[in-house]
Amino acid sequence: MWMLKLIIKPTSGLTFRRMPSSILHISTYPFLPPTTMSGFLCRLKLLEAGHLPETTVKDPDYYALPPQLCPLGAYPKARRYRVHTTKRQGIRSFNHNAFSRIVRHQSTKEVYQLHTWEYLFTEKLVGYVVSEDKELLSQLKTVKNFGCKIGKEGYAFVDRISGPTEIVLKQVKTKPDTLLPGTALVGVPCEAFPLYRYAWGEGASENTNLEQPEPSNIKGFVPFVAGEVSGEIELDYYTDGNVHLPKLFIDELWKGEENG
């Protein structure tokens, strides 16, 4: 197994919207979720190649890394972060997209509502992508210094990338560098979050040219629970001696990869 370690630096407050969520309270995950990280890195490869994919509210194309690459999310350095809550006015209509257009040809009367909005503030996020395909993983190294919109709100850029680094499977007692799936959290004090992984469509793994990304064949999302523990826990980890990535979390995110 091989690993890339990425340092992602925000340039503003970030909102990674927790799902499911209420309409009026927009809460954030205190980390970059794996699926959001996948879309962010894929978008950077699009920008690198000079492509600007259109965005739409109805029936959008999904752009994500191929199933052979497994982003594990990115986390505040030393878990140091602050979540700021504020009030924010927004459009009531779900399909409103006028604010995202470069040109608006006419004004329409909109109905506004007041949101409670959370922003994540942190100096940097430390993220990981793993793969059994070293050459495919290496294609991501070229996104260093690229940045764009990330999550529901905010911007960030990739400051540093190290690897690919070989990681081996060992059973040790240590503090994991990522979340743990619900199966590892029974009886363990933790903060749990509802997350999602991709349900890949047939042939999804065939598009491995990251220089010319195409819309991903994603047929849906599968919910699961993951959590963050504050102490050490004995598990099987993929490790280089410094970074410890729980095998159970990688297995959870890679479920359904065989369908691709």
Check: CB of residue 113 under 8 Å from CB of residue 90. Answer: yes
pLDDT tens-place string over residues 224-238: 999 999 889 999 999
The whole-number pLDDT of residue 50 equals 83
For the purposes of burial, counting CB atoms within 10 Å of the CB of 132, is it exposed (0-12), middle (13-18) or buried (19 or more)?
Answer: exposed
The whole-number pLDDT of residue 260 equals 47
Residue 178: other Cβ atoms inside 10 A: 23
d(CA 236, CA 172) in angstroms, rounded, equals 7
DSSP 7-20: EEEESS-BB-B-SS
Q: Any idea how long the chain is?
A: 260
Quick one: which of 214, 89, 231 has its CA closest to 174? 231
> What secondary structure, in 3-state letters, does 30-96 show?
CCECHHHHHHHHHHHHHHHCCCCCCCCCCCCCCCCCCCCCEEEEEEEHHHCCEEEEEEEEEECCCCC
Quick one: which of 126, 119, 177 has its CA closest to 8? 126
Residue 196: other Cβ atoms inside 10 A: 16
Provide the 3-class DSSP secondary structure of residue 179: coil
Task: Please state the rounded mean pLDDT for residues 48-56.
Answer: 73
Is residue 100's pLDDT more than 60? no
| Structure-block tokens of residue 216 | 């991903």
More confident residue, 226 or 78: 226
DSSP state of 28: B
- Return the biggest CA–CA distance within the chain: 62
d(CA 117, CA 152) in angstroms, rounded, equals 11
- Distances from the Cα of 203 to the Cα of 36, 68, 76, 195, 244, angstroms: 22, 12, 35, 24, 31
d(CA 12, CA 45) in angstroms, rounded, equals 22
pTM (2 decimals)?
0.87
The whole-number pLDDT of residue 259 equals 46
Is residue 205's pLDDT more than 50? yes
Quickly tell me which residue has 């982003």 as its tokens: 71
